[in-house]
Every structure is written in C-alpha cells, then in structure tokens.
C-alpha cells in the first residue's frame, strides 16, 4: 500500500493533488492510519509522530504525489458578545473547562454543546448555530479525541477533575498550571511539578 510519511503545511505546496481526504476535527489528529480519498485512492498515513492536520495541508506520498486535507464541516456554535470584555469573559469560562475553541476576529466557535451555549447566554453573549470546518486553537497541545469531546458539563465545575486518567487531585481548580504541559501531545506523560498540599 502507498504510504504518506510527510505533512506539508497549507500554502507550502502548489501542485495539483492526486486526491483529497475530508476529515473532521477528531479525524485530523493522526499518526498511522489507513485513509481513502474521495477519489478512491487508498494509502497509509505513516508519520514519525502524531500531528494535527489542518485544512489545506498536503500529505506527501512516497512517490512524490500529494493528497490534500480538507476540514469537514461540523455542527458548531458561534459565540458573540457586545464588546471585547464580554467575549474575553466567555473565553475565560471556556478555557476553564478545557474546551477546544476556535478564535475568530469577533467571535468564538465551539462544537455544539447545549449546556455551554446556555452558560454563554447567561454571560450576556449571543449564540449562533452553524455548519463550518472546526480549527480550534491549541492543536499543538490537545489530543483531538480529548479536546473535541470535552467533559460532562452538567455541573458547576467543582468536581475532582477526573476527566483524565492521571491523578492531580490536590491542586486548586483555578487552572494556574501550565496548559502546554497539561496537554502534552503524549497524554501518558503528565508532569505537573510539585504537588500542592
């Protein structure tokens, strides 16, 4: 089977792609996976390490041809506020819940989540449902399967932080720890430094 062992960033390649793969956000975090393009080309994505693929990226096949990555439209909620302060307040609450968020010039986009959307409305924001590709911030740190699915939101976020299977129960839940370390791509390694008492 043909192998693709390199990702070429969007804008860094110009040749006509041999085929296209259409992937949602969860499907775009990959290392080794058999893919089939919309034109029927089957190939093995075989990268040295897992990567977050973005719409417009090219997957370079071993014979030199390129398969284009397209981001599939998904059910999203676009959150807007009356002013920048209001939007920052919503952004803080979304970040506090470790949600994947796409930052637009005057809005935030998340995957549809009725409880989070209601929270945004209570904070004075408006919420618009739409279908669009999802390209959230933090792809370098957050595993797609974790960031996209989020947590169980039916609470006031005063739980024991048990949505990951590592133990860091003793820390205060105001999230002043290092998010780059917290969401290391290798989710099996979590070094939070000295534990708080």
The verdict on residue 57 lying in a domain is yes
The tokens of 146 are what?
Answer: 């974790």
Name the H helices within 97-142: 114-122
Flag whether 177 is in a domain.
Answer: no
Model confidence at 176, pLDDT cuts 50, 70, 90, reads: very low
Residue 90 pLDDT > 70 = yes
Distance CA 56, CA 154 (A): 36
Q: Which residues contact 122 (CB under 8 A, 6 or more apart)?
A: none
107 in the same domain as 143: yes
What is the enclosing helix (H) or strand (E) of 47? strand 42-52
Q: Give the gyration radius of the chain's Cα atoms.
A: 19
Last-in-domain residue among 71, 104, 125? 71
> Which position has the higher pLDDT, 180 or 70?
70
Q: Is the pLDDT of residue 26 over 70?
A: yes
pLDDT in the model for residue 137: 83
Contacts of 131 (CB under 8 A, 6+ apart): 73, 74, 75, 76
Q: What is the mean pLDDT of the chain?
A: 78
Least confident of 35-39, 66-70, 193-197: 193-197
* Greater model confidence, 185 or 195: 195
Is residue 80 a part of any domain in this protein?
Answer: yes
Q: Picking from 114-118, 139-143, 185-189, which range would have the lowest pLDDT averaged per residue?
A: 185-189
Between 3 and 178, the more confident residue is 3
Residue 47 shares a structural domain with residue 114:
no
| Domain extent for 61 | 3-71
Nearest to 21 by CA among 47, 50, 48, 57: 57
User: Does residue 161 sit within a domain?
Assistant: no
Look at 27-31, 53-57, 93-97, 186-190 and tell me which has the smallest mean pLDDT. 186-190
């Amino acid at each position: 089977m043909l192998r693709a062992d390199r990702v070429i960033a969007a804008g860094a390649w110009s040749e006509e792609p041999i085929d296209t793969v259409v992937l949602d956000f969860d499907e775009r975090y990959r290392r080794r996976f058999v893919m089939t393009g919309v034109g029927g080309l089957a190939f093995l994505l075989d990268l040295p390490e897992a990567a977050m693929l973005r719409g417009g990226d090219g997957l370079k096949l071993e014979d030199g041809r390129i398969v284009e990555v397209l981001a599939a439209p998904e059910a999203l909620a676009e959150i807007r506020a009356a002013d920048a302060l209001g939007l920052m307040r919503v952004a803080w609450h979304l970040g506090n819940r470790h949600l994947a968020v796409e930052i637009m010039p005057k809005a935030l986009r998340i995957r549809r989540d009725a409880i989070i959307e209601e929270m945004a409305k209570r904070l004075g924001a408006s919420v618009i449902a739409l279908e669009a590709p999802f390209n959230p911030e933090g792809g370098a740190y957050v595993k797609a399967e974790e960031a996209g699915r989020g947590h169980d939101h039916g609470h006031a976020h005063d739980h024991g932080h048990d949505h990951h299977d590592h133990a860091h129960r003793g820390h205060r839940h105001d999230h002043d720890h290092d998010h780059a370390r917290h969401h290391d791509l290798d989710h099996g390694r979590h070094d939070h430094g000295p534990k708080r008492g």
